[in-house]
Amino acid sequence: MDFRKQPILESLTPFTRLLFSILLVISCFATSFLLGMLLAGPLFGIGLKELISSLSDLDDARVMPLLQYFQVIQSFGLFIIPALLAGYLFERSSVRYLCIGKPSRWPVYLVTLGLMFAFLPFINWMVSVNESMKLPGFLKGLEDWMKITEDAAAKLTVAFMKMPTFGGFLFNMVMIALLPAIGEEFMFRGLLQRLLKEWLGNIHVAIFISAFLFSAMHMQFYGFFPRMLMGVIFGYLFYWTGSLWVPISAHFINNGAAVVFSYLCQRGMLTGDYENFGATENPFLILLSGLAVPALLFIIYRIRPGSRPVPEPHHG
């Protein structure tokens, strides 16, 4: 047996792999953030103390490039790099472990495109229902904190969505649509969902737990349930097709559509608000959207390549 070709951490149990992955994420994020802070001074010509104190001031013209810079660092340090490292350490091939070696069949992506747009009326209705939910009186302190967190996240998103130039639009397509689609799917479906499946032995439980953590990570509590449902859909797209590129494409379509719509509105070519893109008060359209989603998912299930789900990890 050639031990040089054996995965470095092949002998770890599923639970130990999960714990190791958590530590790996923390370590990669801390390292990348620290390096980002150290490089920010020379890159942006700002002192470290001034940098820290200015990040919350969205009215400062120097702050937005800094926030965009750290947003990109977060995508790599928190999601992409840890997932790639875990794939190499567990299977000596990040491509094989994360199932990014080959795409699925083109009809799958075509139906996925239709699925994400058909989903818009129903998901927007879910957002409105989620926003109207109230916590019990004894949890008022928690609810107040959730509202503050939500407002801060909303203000940052609005600031990011300002795209006065075509270059700003292209940058947002990378920062808001492409990198989160790749990074979050690498982490929550490619790594976490697989580790939970290996540990718990039930793919459906793994999909729902991954979707719960995916939604919780965004720290936007009044959109928690719609985002969790979207995470469940991404999870099944991965499980059924065996290719991580399918949920990545779905995630990119969801984020990218909002960026495109917002840019076109700012250019005066469309009217509306990106947060309400695809929303309607017509109950018939909402019902039709809710019925279309499982129907399109069933089509994807039937046309997926082969009949095998995501391959189980190889143990020597």
Model confidence pLDDT, tens digit, residues 227-274: 999 999 999 999 999 999 999 999 999 999 999 999 999 999 988 877
Can you tell me the distance from the alpha carbon of 57 to that of 65, in angstroms, rounded to the nearest whole number? Answer: 12
Backbone angles phi, psi at 201, to 5 degrees: 75, 10
- Residue 283: CB partners within 8 Å, gap ≥ 6? none
Whether the CB-CB separation of 289 and 118 falls below 8 Å is answered with: yes
| 159-192 pLDDT per residue, tens | 899 999 999 999 999 999 999 999 999 999 999 9
pLDDT at 306: 62
CA distances from 139 to 134, 142, 147, 151 (A): 10, 5, 12, 18
CB 305 within 8 A of CB 105: yes
Q: Enumerate residue ranges in the chain where pLDDT < 50.
A: 1-3, 307-310, 313, 315-316
The Cα angle at residue 7 between residues 314 and 202, in degrees rounded to 5: 40
Q: Who's near 252: CB < 8 A, 6+ residues apart?
A: 177, 178, 181
Element (H, E) at 205: helix 203-217
Please tell me the predicted confidence (pLDDT) of residue 47. Answer: 74
Q: What is the overall mean pLDDT for the chain?
A: 89
Q: List C-alpha distances in Å: 235 to 65, 243, 273.
A: 33, 11, 29
